[in-house]
Amino acid sequence: MSRALQSIGRSAIGWLLPALLLVGWEIASRAGVISANVLPAPSAVGAAFWKLLLSGELLENIRISTLRALSGFAVGGAIGFGLGLANGLSALSRGLTDTTIQMIRNIPHLALIPLVILWFGIDEEAKLFLVALGVFFPIYINTLLGIQGVDPQLVEMGRIYGMSRSQLFVRVILPGALPSIFVGLRYALGIMWLTLIVAETISASSGLGYMAMQAREFLLIDVVVLSILIYALLGKLADTLARYLERLCLQWHPAFQNA
Amino acid sequence: MTAATITARQSFTETTARATVTAQERKIAFSFRNVTKRFGDKTVLQGVDLDVHDGQFVAVIGKSGCGKSTLLRLLAGLDKPTSGELVHADETKDQKRTRIMFQEPRLLPWARVGANVDVGLTGIAKGVEVRKKSLDILAEVGLADRSEEWPSVLSGGQRQRVALARALVGHPSILALDEPLGALDALTRIEMQQLLERIWLSKKFTAVLVTHDVAEAVALADRVVVIDSGRIALDLPIPVERPRRHASPELAFFERQILDQLYKQKTP
Ligand SMILES: Nc1ncnc2c1ncn2[C@@H]1O[C@H](COP(=O)(O)OP(=O)(O)O)[C@@H](O)[C@H]1O
Ligand SMILES: [Mg+2]
């Protein structure tokens, strides 16, 4: 009982500072220390949230942005994971593709935006392409590193006990690579939102980034701040889900056992 | 009668029974015939000849880097001899039935203790039978109630016992042990030696134990083989009744002979 309370207390303490900041911000706005056309009061942002929620505009934009993020993630993540596995398991595949991938990696994917607009216009493909490209590298590299880092002594043990190639993969190699794959996953989720924000801000006719840019044109600063906050919340949500999944899959890991 | 005396009597009768059987049949478990192993131009083993009888407990001793691990890896089929051959009594069956245990337990950190033991039944048993056999063997190494734990919460000695259970669960005919107790503290080590001896007496497999501890070798083995410069320098039977007492004068006599061989002193 007191233990449960203690753990609630411990997670609550992290929210103390943000709450204080929020209160301070509201007070400063009302006192006129922060001008409303620099940063609107939290209550004004709250009002904008309520209005957009009622009109359905907000949920629709969140839906569109989330869909874009997830589909780009699925495509880039799947390719990155597949190539990471292939290159981790086969020296031939690695020899064939790794150098090329490492070369492409040196191009910041956001630098491709002008080119991508020329190719796809401002259609969905443009966003999908950019997000997929951004997500691909962290997943690819961490899957590859994870597989290369699997303890060769364990692999040898699996062979001694007569595991087939697929048994060896499922029981030894994949679980061994999983901690590293999760690092890649969480990093990729961050990149996913970042890429989407930039892409939607520059070229879109719907979605959260578009909503923010529209609001900027009409000087609706409360909506601009609201979009930024929602981006932050979505990012946090994705990271929390990934952490939860990580905790679930890596129960065996000493790092997750005392929590 | 105390429990200790009962066990003592049991292993005594078993030992005498075993001695008669070995004397009558003397079936060979495996033979190294003129085996040479080179890595590049470095010769590690040179013309090794070694016959080991079924059910015998052989200890292999030698200075670090003399090729003990190489010998075991050849025995377990993890490496092939450069020349010469390794003959198993029953080629197809025994090659599979050789298990090797290392200084590191090599447990899968992401599998619970029971599931780690299950690995030892890969290709041997399936389904519910696997779990039953695993639990049985875990009980034999004294870890019956730990099968649902993660390996990371066990002590070094317990992990090594899980590794032993995994090696034994498939009933190997040969168990090769590469300094399995080398990383344990002195007390745990003696406990593990007793466990190993007890299990060997009851399961009757052929044991080949590589160790750098001469006292351990003479306490456990029927026969001690000393390797030096890639050759067998000494092949010494230890005809001492079991159960043996650590550091008894009888064992000390054999220990002396082995140490003299290792450090090249003449016995007066
Ligand atoms: N795979 C290998 N490649 C090259 N040299 C090896 C290999 N394995 C062992 N050796 C060499 O063979 C010698 C004997 O090694 P090992 O059998 O491990 O000795 P130990 O008696 O200490 O177990 C060492 O000098 C070692 O460097
Ligand atoms: Mg060695």
Residue that is last in its domain, among B121, B138, B170:
B170
Residue of chain B whose alpha carbon sits nearest to that of A173: B108
Higher pLDDT pick, B80 / B2 = B80
Instruction: Give mean pLDDT, residues A164-179.
Output: 97
Same domain (yes/no): A150, A171 = yes
Burial B26-64 (b: 16+ CB within 10 A, else e): eeebbebeebebeeeeeebbbebebebbbbbbbbbbbee
Does ligand 1 come within 6 angstroms of the Cβ of B39? yes
**What pTM was computed for the model?**
0.85
DSSP B245: P
A149 and A202 in a single domain? The answer is: yes
Reported as a pLDDT band with limits 50, 70 and 90, residue B93 is: low
| CA–centroid distance for B161 within its chain | 13
DSSP letter for each residue of B197-224: HHHHHHH--EEEEE-S-HHHHHHH-SEE
Q: For the domain that residue B253 is a member of, what is the CATH number?
A: 3.40.50.300
Neighbour order of strands in the sheet with B83-88: B42-53, B28-39, B83-88
Distance in angstroms (rounded) separating the CA atoms of residues B60 and B35: 16
* Total domains, chain A: 2
What integer pLDDT is reported at residue B25 of this predicted model?
58
Judge: B76–A167 Cβ closer than 8 Å, yes or no: no
Task: Name the residue with higher pLDDT: B83 or B11.
Answer: B83
| Shared-domain flag, residues B204 and B85 | yes
Q: In whole angstroms, give the CA distance from residue B37 to residue A106.
A: 47
pLDDT in tens, A88-111: 999 999 999 999 999 999 999 999
- Nearest-CA residue for ligand 1 atom 7 is B39
Contact criterion met (CB below 8 Å) for B143 and B119 = no
Ligand 1, atom nearest to B63 Cα: 21
- Kindly report, residue by residue over A224-258, the tens digit of the pLDDT: 999 999 998 999 999 999 999 999 999 999 888 76
Residues B232, B253: one domain? yes
Instruction: Note whether B130 and B245 are same-domain residues.
Output: no
Domain with residue A96: its CATH number is 1.10.3720.10
Q: Could you tell me if B88 and B120 lie in one domain?
A: no
Q: Which domain holds residue A226?
A: 41-256
**B160-168 mean pLDDT:** 97
Measure B99 CA to ligand 1 centroid, in angstroms.
Answer: 20
Please report, rounded to a whole number, the percentage of residues in chain A having pLDDT higher than 70.
98
Is residue B178 located within the same domain as residue B166? no
What the block records as the tokens of B250 is 């009888």
Residues 6+ away with beta carbon under 8 Å from A248: none
* Same domain as A82, residue A30: no
- For residue B247, name the pLDDT band (cuts at 50, 70, 90): confident
User: Model confidence over A183-233: pLDDT tens digits?
Assistant: 999 999 999 999 998 988 887 789 999 999 999 999 899 999 999 999 989
> For residue B199, is pLDDT > 50?
yes
**Distance (Å) from the C-alpha of residue A14 to the closest C-alpha of chain B?**
30
* B152 to chain A: closest CA residue: A254
Give the pLDDT confidence score for residue B1 in this predicted structure.
Answer: 41
Strands B83-88, B28-39: parallel, antiparallel or unpaired by DSSP? Answer: antiparallel
The protein residue whose alpha carbon is closest to atom 3 in ligand 1 is B39
Whether B44 is in the pocket of ligand 1, judged by its Cβ within 6 Å, is: yes
Instruction: Please state the domain count of chain B.
Output: 2
The residue whose CA has the least distance to atom 23 of ligand 1 is B69
pLDDT in the model for residue A32? 87
CA distance A122 to A119: 9
Residues spanned by the domain of B27:
3-97+172-262
Q: Is B93 on the interface with A (CB under 8 A)?
A: no
By the 8 A CB rule, do B67 and B45 touch? yes
ipTM of the complex: 0.85
Asked if the structure places residue B103 within a domain, the reply is: no
- Give the closest ligand to the alpha carbon of residue B82: 1
B122 and B243 share one domain: no
Q: Decide if B161 is inside a domain.
A: yes
| pLDDT band at residue B196 using 50, 70 and 90 as cut-offs | very high
